[in-house]
Amino acid sequence: MQEDPILDVLNDLLNYDEILACMVARHNMISVMPDQSRFKPEVMQIWDIIKRAMDDVFGVIREYSQAGLGEIEFRLQDYEALFYIFPDTENALVAIVPALSNKGLIEVEMENARREILKIMENKIETTP
Amino acid sequence: MDGMHVMLDASESKIEASIGFSRKWNAREAGREVVKTAIEKLKTPPSFFLLFSTIHYQDNGGFKELLKGVWDVLPKGTPLIGGTVSNFINNYGCFSRGATALAVSYPNIDIAIGIGKHTKITPKSAAKQCASMIKKGLKDSKYDHKLIVDVISGPTIPKLPMIGRFMNVDSRVVGNLLAYFFVDFFSYLGHGIGKEGVIIEELSYLLPDYQIIGDSAGERLFNYQFVNDKVYTNTVVALGCNIDLPVKVNAAIVSHETKKTFRITDTTFDNRIITRIDNKPAKDVLFNLLEVDKTQFGEFDDFYYKTSVYFPMTFEEKKENTLGVCGLFGDNIVLHEKIAGKNVRLLSVTGKEIIGNINDIIHKSNHFSPFTLIFYSSLYSYILHDRTHDIKEKLDKYYGNHPYLAVGSLVENVRIKDKYPSVRVYSFNMFQLDVPNFENIFTNEESN
């Protein structure tokens, strides 16, 4: 079976120390997620509450993505969730990072990942018969 | 002209420039790829090779492996300097992980490499060693136009037993002990503040004919410098370059003045730590001025990323110098560098201002250079985040496929012809050659 190229992009993001978990998701649905064993253990301890908060944020994304909502983030305990929304969709690239990490540098690579995933999505649409 | 590579006739000699790039995680493979991508389009071996990488190779094989990879491919004897950087922008994209390089090939150029060790404890002597090597290496050069590209070990935080690494100490007593006594001790360990100011002043004094452009390698915790096949810490490395083409160095600080001012009344650590402002404890006065409360901040990073990073300082006595807050020891403010005067004015920076000013600087830059090398403040990324990509868009708008490399630096240094050297944050410093018979590199009508 062929590997999902979006999974490759997500797995690459997980190589960064600061990215504790990442996925492509939408409201009540995770579209692409790396093997959870690659998520940093500390984030798994509060995964359930993060997941619930994420679902609520996806409600906001669904409401406003067509209006141009591009990014959204929240801090929960010692973690921050960054949502990079794919334009005109309800899907977002999500990453969990430690609170107060150098987001200036992390978000440069998040944007690279979003662009790469967008390209993959566009190619998929073009090649789908 | 080929993408990310350029070749032209100048003074009947050929100059070529090319950008190297790798995103591989494995250090050895990245080293090979960054050279391969840089030199595969050059018709003649490079006259020099500038190599920059993010810190990630420290844990993915190490920098020795990175350089081994480089020398698997780079022609033997090519002068190489470089170091670690926070992030970089080149023709390929905008990145905070990877390796990049600028390779230049030209017959009418003489190159010498200088290195000075132990910059944290003996910066002046390190600068002397470095300058002496460059002087010696270029003593017989017949070319009139002179430039130094330098990479200096930036500030690093030592790891202390039981305490670990820290930049912020709340306790007034411990903070004072650190500020007045122990911070000096860090220098003996090869750590602490970068001392770039002393180094650049000494290099400028010993090599008065040279324009200078450079950066402090790395992030706040670690940094490395490269010379040929060796990896160093705690050094200044420099590429001395004499060439028959005019050298253009442009520099600008991207910020605006606020009405917030104060007068420094006492300092320690050779003017690198402010202890008193207007005869009051320094931290309290700064917090009052910024209208923040210390209870808002659980730790220094909170203050640093949310407030301090937006307010660099400048000095009424020397406005070319800008500094940022590097840490807080009790009531004392630790700076990146020495103060350049007693009368401080806080500057302010916004993302919009960064993008707009950079657009203007690039627009006014030289239209006839075969390549562009930029050292810019990596602090821009702390404000712009993913919009750092907007800087890349501006560079593409004007330079298109002509080779450019912009390196994100913690502290920048520059000396423009006939001016005093300066060390600063929030600056955008550019090195180009001026080749009047070269095609206009500005790529579209909008930019002209």
- A4-37 per-position pLDDT tens digit: 899 999 999 999 999 999 999 998 888 899 999 9
Are the CB atoms for B76 and B39 separated by under 8 Å? no
Statement: residue A86 has pLDDT above 50: yes
Higher pLDDT, B395 or B162: B395
Q: b or e along B156-177 (b: 16 or more beta carbons within 10 Å of the residue's beta carbon)? A: bbbeeeeeeeebbbeeeeebbe
Q: What is the pLDDT of residue B315?
A: 95
Q: Do A106 and B305 touch (CB under 8 A)?
A: no
Q: Which residues of B touch A107 (CB under 8 A)?
A: 385-386, 388
Is some CB atom of chain B closer than 8 A to the CB atom of A105? yes
Q: Do B386 and A100 touch (CB under 8 A)?
A: no
Q: What is the pLDDT of residue B163?
A: 65
Q: Which residues of A touch B305 (CB under 8 A)?
A: 100, 102-104
Q: Which residue of B has its CA nearest to A116?
A: B93
Is some CB atom of chain B closer than 8 A to the CB atom of A18? no
Higher pLDDT, B224 or B10: B224
Q: b or e along A27-56 (b: 16 or more beta carbons within 10 Å of the residue's beta carbon)? A: beeeebbbeeeebeeebeeeeeebeeebee
Which segment of A31-35, B6-10, B60-64, B150-154 scores lowest on mean pLDDT?
B6-10
Mutate to test the interface with A, among B25, B84, B96, B305 (most CBs of A within 10 A): B96
Are the CB atoms for B222 and B156 separated by under 8 Å? yes
Helix ranges (H only) for chain A are 5-13, 41-44, 47-64, 103-127
Longest dimension (CA), chain A: 46
Are the CB atoms for B385 and A109 separated by under 8 Å? no
Q: What three-state secondary structure class fits A57?
A: helix
Statement: residue B282 has pLDDT above 90: yes
Query: Which residues touch B259 (CB under 8 Å, ≥6 apart)?
Result: none
Q: What is the pLDDT of residue A27?
A: 86
Cα B283 vs. chain centroid, distance in angstroms?
Answer: 27
Mean pLDDT to the nearest integer, A49-68: 91
Give the predicted TM-score (pTM) of the model: 0.91
- Please, which residues 34-73 of chain A have a Cβ atom closer than 8 Å to chain B? 71
Q: Which helix (H) or strand (E) holds B36?
A: helix B27-39
How far apart are the CA of B96 and the nearest CA of chain A, in angstroms? 6
Q: Which residues of B touch A102 (CB under 8 A)?
A: 219, 305, 382
- B223-244 per-position pLDDT tens digit: 999 999 999 999 999 999 999 9
Q: What is the pLDDT of residue B298?
A: 66
C-alpha–C-alpha distance, residues B378 and B313, integer Å: 16
Q: Do B299 and A100 touch (CB under 8 A)?
A: yes
Q: What confidence tier does B12 reach under pLDDT thresholds 50, 70, 90? A: very low
Statement: residue A128 has pLDDT above 70: no
Q: What confidence tier does B162 reach under pLDDT thresholds 50, 70, 90? A: low
Mean pLDDT to the nearest integer, B345-370: 92
Statement: residue B212 has pLDDT above 60: yes
Statement: residue B55 has pLDDT above 90: yes
How far apart are the CA of A88 and the nearest CA of chain B, in angstroms? 19
Q: Do B385 and A104 touch (CB under 8 A)?
A: yes
Helix ranges (H only) for B58-195 are 63-73, 123-137, 172-177, 183-188
Q: Which residues of A touch B97 (CB under 8 A)?
A: 16, 109
Mutate to test the interface with B, among A102, A116, A117, A119 (most CBs of B within 10 A): A102
For helices A5-13 and A103-127, angle between their N-to-C axes, nearest 10 degrees: 170
Whether ipTM tops 0.90, in short, is no
Give the number of beta-carbon pairs within 8 Å between A and B. 54
C-alpha–C-alpha distance, residues B276 and B278, integer Å: 6
C-alpha–C-alpha distance, residues B124 and B289, integer Å: 35
- B238-272 per-position pLDDT tens digit: 999 999 999 999 999 999 999 999 999 999 999 99
Query: Which residues touch B48 (CB under 8 Å, ≥6 apart)?
Result: B78, B79, B80, B81, B103, B104, B109, B111, B239, B241
Give the amino acid at B251. Answer: A
In 3D space, the residue among B325, B293, B327 whose CA is nearest the CA of residue B312 turns out to be B325
Q: Do B385 and A107 touch (CB under 8 A)?
A: yes
Statement: residue A69 has pLDDT above 90: yes
- B371-412 per-position pLDDT tens digit: 999 999 998 998 999 999 999 999 999 998 899 999 999 899
Domain spans in chain B, listed from the N-terminal domain onward:
5-155+192-253+352-447, 256-348
C-alpha–C-alpha distance, residues B242 and B48, integer Å: 12
Is some CB atom of chain B closer than 8 A to the CB atom of A77? no
Cα torsion angle, B72, B5, B3, B380, sign? positive
* Domains of chain A by start residue, with CATH: 5-122 (3.30.450.30)
Q: What is the pLDDT of residue B218?
A: 66
Q: Which residue of B has its CA nearest to A101?
A: B301
For helices B351-363 and B389-399, angle between their N-to-C axes, nearest 10 degrees: 20
Q: What is the pLDDT of residue B7?
A: 60
Statement: residue B60 has pLDDT above 90: yes
Please state, for a pLDDT cut of 70, what percent of chain B lies above it: 93
Q: Which residues of A touch B385 (CB under 8 A)?
A: 103-104, 107-108
Give the amino acid at B395. Answer: L
Mean pLDDT to the nearest integer, B330-336: 90
Are the CB atoms for B288 and B347 separated by under 8 Å? no
C-alpha–C-alpha distance, residues A8 and A6, integer Å: 5
C-alpha–C-alpha distance, residues B217 and B232, integer Å: 11
Q: Do B97 and A84 touch (CB under 8 A)?
A: no
Are the CB atoms for B307 and B317 separated by under 8 Å? no
Are the CB atoms for B261 and B443 separated by under 8 Å? no
Statement: residue B445 has pLDDT above 50: no
Q: What is the pLDDT of residue B6?
A: 66
**Residues of B within an 8 Å Cβ radius of A:** 25, 56, 59, 86-87, 93-97, 219, 299, 301-302, 305, 378-379, 381-386, 388-389
End-to-end CA distance of chain A: 19
DSSP, residue by residue, B388-403: GHHHHHHHHHHHTTS-
- B107-143 per-position pLDDT tens digit: 999 999 999 999 999 999 999 999 999 999 999 999 9
Q: What is the mean pLDDT of chain B?
A: 90
Statement: residue B437 has pLDDT above 90: no
Mean pLDDT comparison of B46-55, B163-172, B209-218, B282-291, highest-scoring range: B46-55
Which pairing describes strands B318-323 and B313-315: parallel, antiparallel, or unpaired? antiparallel
Rg value, chain B, Cα: 21
Q: What is the pLDDT of residue B11?
A: 47
Are the CB atoms for B140 and B236 separated by under 8 Å? no
Q: Do A108 and B381 touch (CB under 8 A)?
A: yes
DSSP, residue by residue, B220-258: SS---EEETTEEESSEEEEEEEEESS-EEEEEEE--EEE
Token pair listed for A83: 């949502």
Are the CB atoms for A13 and A94 separated by under 8 Å? no
The count of C-alpha atoms lying within 13 angstroms of the C-alpha of B43, restricted to the half-sphere facing its C-beta, is: 11
